[in-house]
Amino acid sequence: MRLLVLCLFCLAAAAALELKISRSPVIGLVYKQVVLHCNFTVLENVKKEDVAVKWTMKAVSGEERPVFQFDGNHTASYRHGSFVKTSLLPYGIASLTLSNVTLMDEGIYTCTVLVTPQYGNGKIQLKVRAKPTVLLSPQSLLNAAEGEKTFACNVHNFYPQTINISWLARKHGSRHETPLSSDVCTGVPASHGQDGLFAVLSRLTQMVNETNNGSLYICEVWHESLEKPLRRNTTLVVRVPTSYHQDSGFIIGVAIACIVVTGSCSVFFTIFYQERLAKVEPQVSSVIKPDLIPINEKIRLICNISGFRPKKIQVKWYWKKPHMMTESMGHSTREDVALSDSREDITNMAVQPLEASGRFYNVSSCLTYTPTIRDDGTEFECNIQHSTLKNPVRRATIIHVTARPASHYIFSSPQLPVQGEKLILTCVVEKFYPRNIALDWFRNGQPVEEVTQFGPFSCETGFYSIWSQIEFILTKDKEGAIYTCQIKHSSFGNVEELSYEINLKGIPPEVLWITADPVVPVAGEELRLNCRINNFSPNLINVNWFHNGSPLHTGVCHSVSIIGANGLFSMWSLLRVIPRHGAGKAVFTCRVEHGALKEYVERSYTLPMLASPLHLDS
C-alpha cells in the first residue's frame, strides 16, 4: 500500500532531484555482498523522516519486482538480505546492499528518492558472476608407464557460460611452455544443480615416453570473472622398462615376434582399457555454504564430485547437531553448546543428480535445510565412497547461525528533555543471536566515553538482549545535538545506527504516509483517507486537511490522543470523500503542526483522474 502511495506522490512532485549512482554495470559475485550506490543532493535540515526511498529491479526475464522501501518511518525489505542504512539518508546516501548474491539478482535496479517536493530516480545494471573452481586429475605427481595417458580438467561453479580452457606442456628444465591443441576434448558447459552455475570437463590424451619424463602438464582457464587465468598442473614421471640383450639371434627373433604380437594386442587392450574401463578417482570440492546464515531461512550446502569412473558412487550426508545445556543457579544462567556424540544420516534431505560428461561422471550434491537457533555449531559432513578409494572421502563444515534483533531503539528519560536537568538516553537491542555484540555512542560524530552497559543477558531460550546507556546534564549548548548509537552485530552484515536529536520543545511526531480505503477508488463510493501520527510529546498537536491547497472543514474526523507504553502519544485523522466522474485531478494533503517540529510536516494523496464533480461527504 505504501509503495502505491509513494508512486502516486512521486508523480505529483514538481522539482527534479539529482542522483549520483554507481557506474553501470556493477559486478556482483555469487554468495558475496554487493553495494549499489545511490547518492542525492542534501537540502538543509533534512531528517530521515523527510526522505522516502524505494528500490525496484527488472530481472533478465523481464519480471519487475520491489526490493526495498522506506517511507520516512518504516522499512520493508522484499528481498532477504537487502537493506539501506536509513541513518545515512540525512547525508544524501541511499545506497542498497545485497547480501548472498544469486543469479536471480541480475538485472536493472532503479533507485527512487523523494525529498518533498523534489523527486529523482536512476538506474543501475547489476551483472552477477561466479568464479570457476578448477580440479585437475591427477592432481599430484604422476608415476606412469610409457604409453597413453589421459589428464582431466574439471571446471565447475562458474557463470556466465562462456569459458576458455587451454592445455600447455613444459619440458623438464625448460621455461618454455608449448600449447597443446591435438588430442584435446572439451565439452560444452552445462548448467548443474539448482543454482544455475555451469560446469565443463576438458580432457587431454598424450602418448608419453622417456622424453616426457619430468614434464609439467598445465590446464589454464580463462573466464570473465577472473582478473587473471586460473592454472592447475601436474608433473609426469615416466617409468622406462629395463632392456635385456642376448647374443642368440634365434632368441632375438622369437622375442621380436612375440613383442609384435603381444604388443599389438596390448596396444588395443590398453587403449580400450584407458578409454572405457580404467577406474578414475573422483575429485571432491569442499562444502560450499552461504557467508551469512540467518535462522528460520532456507540454506543450501553443495558438494561437487567430478571426473570419476565407473559411475557407481555413494554420496551420503551426516550431521552432528549441537544441544543446549541450560543450568539455572539462583539468578544466574549458564549456556554451553556441545556437539552430540553420534552423527545422523540426513541423505534424504539432499538432491544429487548423476551426470555423464564424456567418459567420466559428475555429481553435484545439494543439501537444503532450514536452521534454527539450536543448530548453531552443527557440523555437516559429505561422505563419498567409490571403488577407486581405499577410504571414504570426507568433507565437513560447521555452520554458525545468526538472528537479527527483533527490535532496536533509543528512548529517553524523561520523555520530554528539560534544560538544566539530567537526561538519560538508552539504546535497547532485543532478541539477537549470537551473543557477541558491540554498542558505541557518538555525539555529532565524536565518541562518547562514559557509557553504562547492561548485558548481553539471556532473554529467551538462546536469544540475548542488551541495554547501553548514557546520561548527562542537559545544557543549552546541547540543543540540536545528535546522539548516535552504533550497533555492530554479525546478523546485520554491516553497522546499524540509531539516532536521537536533542529537542527541548518535545518529541516530534512520526507522520506516516496516507492510506486509502479502498486502495483503488470507485466512483460514487466513499473513499476514506487515513493519516496516522505516532510517538509525540507533549500532547499539543494541530492537524488540518487541504484539497488542492484549500482548507477542508467537512468530512474530517480526529481521534483522541492515546498514550502508549513508551509514554508518547499517538492519534489518527480521517478524511471522507466520495469521488465523482469528471472531477479531474485532486490532491489531498494532511498537515501536522507540533511544537517539537521546526516546520509543519505534510503528507499528500493524489486522487486518480475520474470523470464528474468531486463531492465531500460531511
Please say if the pLDDT value at position 257 is more than 80: no
How far apart CA 555 and CA 575 sit, in angstroms, is 5
> What does residue 390 show for φ and ψ, rounded to 5 degrees?
-70, -40
Give the strand pairing for 142-145 and 133-137: unpaired
Q: Which amino acid does the sequence have at 80? A: H
pLDDT tens digits, one per residue of 557-572: 999 888 876 678 899 9
Please say if the pLDDT value at position 262 is more than 70: no
| Residue (of 15, 23, 237) closest to 113 by Cα position | 15
Please say if the pLDDT value at position 13 is more than 60: no
CA dihedral 156, 161, 162, 166 (to 10 degrees): 20
Cβ neighbours for 260, distance < 8 A, ≥ 6 positions apart: none
Measured at the CA of 492, the angle between CA 488 and CA 494, to 5 degrees, comes to 65
pLDDT at 382: 94
Please say if the pLDDT value at position 594 is more than 60: yes
Cβ neighbours for 553, distance < 8 A, ≥ 6 positions apart: none
pLDDT at 471: 92
Mean pLDDT computed over 303-331: 72
442-448, Cβ contacts within 8 angstroms, sequence gap of 24 or more? 442/483, 442/484, 442/486, 443/481, 443/482, 443/483, 443/484, 444/481, 444/482, 445/484, 448/483
Tell me whether residue 8 is exposed, middle or buried, using C-beta atoms within 10 angstroms of its C-beta: 0 to 12, 13 to 18, 19 or more.
Answer: middle
| Residue (of 144, 150, 204, 159) closest to 178 by Cα position | 204
Please give the domain boundaries of the chain with CATH numbers for all domains: 1-129 (2.60.40.10), 133-241 (2.60.40.10), 283-400 (2.60.40.10), 403-504 (2.60.40.10), 510-616 (2.60.40.10)
pTM reported for the whole predicted model? 0.47
Mean pLDDT of the chain: 82
pLDDT at 613: 43
**3-state secondary structure string across 256-320:** HHHHHHHHHHHHHHHHHHHHHHCCECCEECCCECCCCEECCCCEEEEEEEEEEECCCEEEEEEEE
Task: In the chain, count H helices and then E strands.
Answer: 2, 54
Please say if the pLDDT value at position 536 is more than 60: yes
pLDDT at 54: 93
Least confident of 67-81, 138-152, 420-434: 138-152
pLDDT tens digits, one per residue of 402-460: 998 988 888 888 877 888 889 999 999 999 999 999 999 998 889 998 999 998 998 87
| Residue (of 456, 294, 326, 320) closest to 377 by Cα position | 320
How far apart CA 131 and CA 224 sit, in angstroms, is 8
How far apart CA 272 and CA 103 sit, in angstroms, is 42
Query: b vs e for 215-249, b when ≥16 Cβ sit within 10 Å of the residue's Cβ?
Result: bebbbbbebebeeeebebebbbebeeeeeeeeeee
**Which grid cell sits at 410?**
533509543
Please say if the pLDDT value at position 339 is more than 50: no
Give the strand pairing for 118-129 and 26-29: parallel
**3-state secondary structure string across 213-262:** CCCEEEEEEECCCCCCCEEEEEEEEEECCCCCCCCCHHHHHHHHHHHHHH
pLDDT-derived band at 380, boundaries 50, 70, 90: very high
pLDDT-derived band at 583, boundaries 50, 70, 90: low
C-beta separation of 607 from 581 below 8 A: no
pLDDT tens digits, one per residue of 272-307: 444 455 788 888 888 988 888 998 888 889 999 888
Please say if the pLDDT value at position 327 is more than 60: no
Mean pLDDT computed over 144-156: 81
**Which grid cell sits at 582?**
469528471
Mean pLDDT computed over 134-138: 85
Q: Which amino acid does the sequence have at 384? A: I
Which position has the higher pLDDT, 610 or 497?
497
How far apart CA 118 and CA 79 sit, in angstroms, is 27
Tell me whether residue 471 is exposed, middle or buried, using C-beta atoms within 10 angstroms of its C-beta: 0 to 12, 13 to 18, 19 or more.
Answer: middle
pLDDT tens digits, one per residue of 451-484: 999 989 988 778 999 999 999 998 888 888 889 9
pLDDT at 194: 67
For residue 50, the SS3 value is helix
Task: Please report how many Cα atoms fall inside a 13 Å half-sphere around the Cα of residue 499, on the Cβ side.
Answer: 18
